[in-house]
């Protein structure tokens, strides 16, 4: 009898609870609402996502560290130093130009846009990927090399030493040697020496073909 009474009491209480309805969601500006509106960040242990403290950046974090975009002025400053050291440069307005505008100008074979795209894709793709117009379909360093190649084939000899080094770093000895041969064919001084003693005969033959292909791409041969 007591058990039946207890069950009946629970049922009655449940009906009353349902009749009264569930509590309203927290009003905007309340403590609960503010907590829900804050960005998520990992908890101190286990990497679980919890509301970040008020005022924290909206950039998501992970147990491996926080994603960080380097401020644009720092990137531009490093790019200028890198380009000056490499032996080529562009007008100032190209350094802060949006990616979409650089893409548009590159299609018109604007050599300064090509150089900026080459630099940004090859050396700054971690930051560049957040901009509109970024190419997610190809490897960024391959895109960078392609833009450097296009600039050289349009007659910008200043990029040749960098192209040789980048191809060497990528492990493509034949392509690197091809640019070395190309520089000789167009009488472009490189300002430094390169060691080709480890090239195979196959690499040398392929390099000759590539160098001729680059040469035929020059505007004077079109």
pLDDT tens across 9-60, in order? Answer: 554 445 544 454 544 544 444 444 444 443 333 333 333 333 333 443 334 4
Q: What is the pLDDT of residue 221?
A: 87
Residue with tokens 């209480």: 13
* Residue of higher predicted confidence among 69 and 32: 69
Query: How many Cα atoms sit within 13 Å of 203 on the Cβ side?
Result: 17
Q: What's the confidence (pLDDT) of residue 222?
A: 80
Task: Please compute the mean of the pLDDT values over residues 85-93 and round it to a whole number.
Answer: 96
pLDDT tens across 110-155, in order? 999 999 999 999 999 999 999 999 999 999 999 999 999 999 999 9
Structure tokens at 23: 């509590």
Q: Output 50 or 166, whichever has higher pLDDT.
A: 166
pTM for this predicted structure: 0.69
Cα 15 from Cα 163, distance rounded (Å): 78
- The string of pLDDT tens digits covering residues 176-210 is 999 999 999 999 999 999 999 999 999 999 999 99
pLDDT at 129: 95
Q: Is the pLDDT of residue 6 over 60?
A: no
- Per the model's pLDDT, the better-predicted residue between 168 and 6 turns out to be 168
Match 């505008």 to its residue by tokens. Answer: 101
- Tell me, what's the pLDDT at 72? 85
Higher pLDDT, 74 or 27: 74
Task: Please give the Cα distance from 9 to 169 (Å, whole number).
Answer: 79
User: Looking at residue 19, what is its pLDDT?
Assistant: 52
């Amino acid at each position: 009898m007591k058990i039946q009474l207890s069950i009946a009491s629970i049922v009655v209480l449940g009906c009353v609870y349902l009749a009264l309805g569930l509590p309203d969601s927290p009003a905007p500006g309340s403590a609960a609402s503010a907590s829900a509106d804050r960005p998520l960040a990992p908890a101190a242990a286990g990497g679980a996502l919890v509301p970040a403290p008020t005022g924290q950046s909206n950039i998501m974090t992970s147990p491996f560290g926080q994603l960080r975009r380097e401020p644009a002025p720092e990137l531009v400053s490093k790019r200028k130093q890198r380009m000056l050291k490499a032996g080529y440069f562009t007008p100032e307005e190209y350094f802060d130009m949006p990616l979409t505008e650089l893409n548009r100008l590159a299609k018109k074979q604007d050599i300064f846009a090509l150089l900026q795209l080459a630099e940004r894709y090859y050396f700054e793709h971690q930051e560049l990927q957040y901009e509109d117009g970024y190419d997610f379909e190809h490897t960024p360093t391959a895109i960078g090399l392609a833009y450097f190649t296009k600039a050289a084939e349009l007659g910008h000899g200043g990029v040749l030493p960098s192209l040789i080094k980048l191809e060497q770093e990528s492990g493509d000895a034949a392509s690197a040697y091809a640019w070395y041969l190309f520089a000789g064919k167009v009488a472009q001084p490189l300002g430094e020496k390169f060691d080709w003693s480890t090239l195979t005969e196959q690499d040398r033959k392929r390099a000759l073909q590539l160098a001729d292909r680059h040469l035929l791409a020059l505007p004077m041969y079109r």
